[in-house]
Amino acid sequence: MLGSGGREHALAWKLAQSSCLANGGKLFCAPGNPGVAQAAELVNLDATDHAAVIAFCDTQTIGLVVVGPEAPLVDGLGDALRAEGIPVFGPNKAAAQLEGSKGFTKDLCQRANIPTAGYVRVNSRDAAHAALAQFGAPVVIKADGLAAGKGVTVAMTMAEATAAVDDIFAGRFGEAGAEAVIEEFMTGEEASFFALTDGATILAFASAQDHKRVGEGDTGPNTGGMGAYSPAPVLTPELEAEVMTRIIAPTVKTMADEGMPYSGVLFAGLMLTDAGPKLIEYNCRFGDPECQVMLSRMTSDLGELLLACAEDRLATCAAPRFAPDTALTVVMAASGYPDTPRKGGTITGIAAAEAAGAKVFHAGTALAGDNLVASGGRVLNVTARGATVTEAQSRAYAAVDAIIAPDLFCRRDIGYREVAREAAEG
């Protein structure tokens, strides 16, 4: 496995339980983190050095490579491994454009008649200004390429919109901002839906909702996600079926028909509008921290499913199964995150948090001698389960309170929409 965040700790924890590792199989992770090290042997490998990854796979006779983050996929690591006959979970470069280029995905939606916001692709400041005049505010401006989650501006005024466009075409995002998408502002509640596919067969995975803003009540700057829960009750079985038929299935079919079969997990960011679910964006990987909550509930063998995707035989697998309860995770982040996270703060109390019934996934942690310290923006994912969101939330915060980490902070309201709904329903 490649990656080093909380998502990879959850993947390693679940993969370590797979029957694929029976009979002396072994899980390696590069670069991993101290949490991943509890489930896998850490190795020093640079995912951008495709030759080095291939050489390691050959030496260790690796039977499956699981790519956690998007960058190596968008960079073509999947193609390089497949060319050597090494099974890989994750799409090839052409298919990873679904995350790597917002304009590519919007055009695909148009060709396949997939519900999404109206849009215009622009490749100059002047064209962008003309498009803004056409849409008016509120409007959404997106740098085309990967921008570490910072490339999207939801502009409520024309002044904000103009500033966002000028920023992009002044080179703020480098190559990722050589092009942009201007799109219609949609309203509704957001939810995420995940499906596994080998390019032909599709199996629904699970739903989740995350909290992207750093502050309570969904205020302040966007982050990678401050907490999440799964399932997302707003995504009813009827809506899930609609998402599968109108969004996921036509995407997979069109990609295959056009010679870019998509293999891996398809992560759909959705807006539940009055006119039905619409696609906001695709990611070509599991969500972080959505992965942590989905895998906490998963009862199927993850390794077998990922290997079946990699080997184009998903049709032989049963649909993934999940416990019917809720899992909720609270992200503990370094003070100053997302702008200037303060690294180095010590962390104790994880054993006490786990004794309280939670599972603590490591994201940005490192060992300094014998001490566990913060080494990144998002540091821990404190994850608990319960019969309701309310119960999972109270267990997760009880575990958070057992962790002693003065330099970390968390939102205290993860899951608030569902907790309010549950209270209203009594």
Q: Kindly state whether residue 301 participates in binding ligand GLY, applying the rule CB under 6 A.
A: no
Q: Kindly state whether residue 8 participates in binding ligand GLY, applying the rule CB under 6 A.
A: no
In angstroms, the CA 407 to CA 26 distance is 36
Q: How far is the CB of 286 from ligand GLY (least distance, A)?
A: 8
Q: How far is the CB of 154 from ligand GLY (least distance, A)?
A: 16
Applying the rule CB under 6 A, the residues between 252 and 311 that interact with ligand AMP are 269, 280-281
Q: Kindly state whether residue 150 participates in binding ligand AMP, applying the rule CB under 6 A.
A: no
Q: Kindly state whether residue 144 participates in binding ligand AMP, applying the rule CB under 6 A.
A: no
Applying the rule CB under 6 A, the residues between 207 and 226 that interact with ligand GLY are 210, 224-225
Q: How far is the CB of 81 from ligand GLY (least distance, A)?
A: 23
Give the ranges where 271-388 is alpha helix by DSSP (H).
290-297, 302-310, 350-355
Q: For the purposes of burial, counting CB atoms within 10 Å of the CB of 184, is it exposed (0-12), middle (13-18) or buried (19 or more)?
A: middle
Positive/negative CA dihedral, 246, 115, 292, 297: negative
Give the ranges where 322-406 is alpha helix by DSSP (H).
350-355, 389-400
| 3-state DSSP assignment of residue 403 | coil
Applying the rule CB under 6 A, the residues between 83 and 142 that interact with ligand AMP are 117, 140
CB-wise, 349 or 383, nearer to ligand GLY?
383
Applying the rule CB under 6 A, the residues between 253 and 292 that interact with ligand GLY are 283, 287-288, 290
Q: Kindly state whether residue 99 participates in binding ligand GLY, applying the rule CB under 6 A.
A: no
CB-wise, 149 or 336, nearer to ligand GLY?
149
Is the distance from CB of 229 to CB of 392 less than 8 angstroms? Answer: yes
| 3-state DSSP assignment of residue 398 | helix
Positive/negative CA dihedral, 323, 328, 331, 332: negative
Binding-site partner at residue 290 among ligand GLY, ligand AMP, none, CB < 5 to 8 Å by type: ligand GLY
CB-wise, 202 or 265, nearer to ligand GLY?
265
Q: What is the dihedral of CA 14, 87, 251, 4, to 10 degrees?
A: 40
Positive/negative CA dihedral, 5, 11, 15, 17: positive
Q: How far is the CB of 169 from ligand AMP (least distance, A)?
A: 19
Q: Kindly state whether residue 183 participates in binding ligand AMP, applying the rule CB under 6 A.
A: yes
Give the chain's end-to-end CA distance (angstroms, integer).
Answer: 43
Q: Kindly state whether residue 392 participates in binding ligand AMP, applying the rule CB under 6 A.
A: no
In angstroms, the CA 237 to CA 252 distance is 20
Chain residues that interact with ligand AMP, rule: CB under 6 A: 117, 140, 152, 154, 183-186, 190, 212, 269, 280-281
Chain residues that interact with ligand GLY, rule: CB under 6 A: 210, 224-225, 283, 287-288, 290
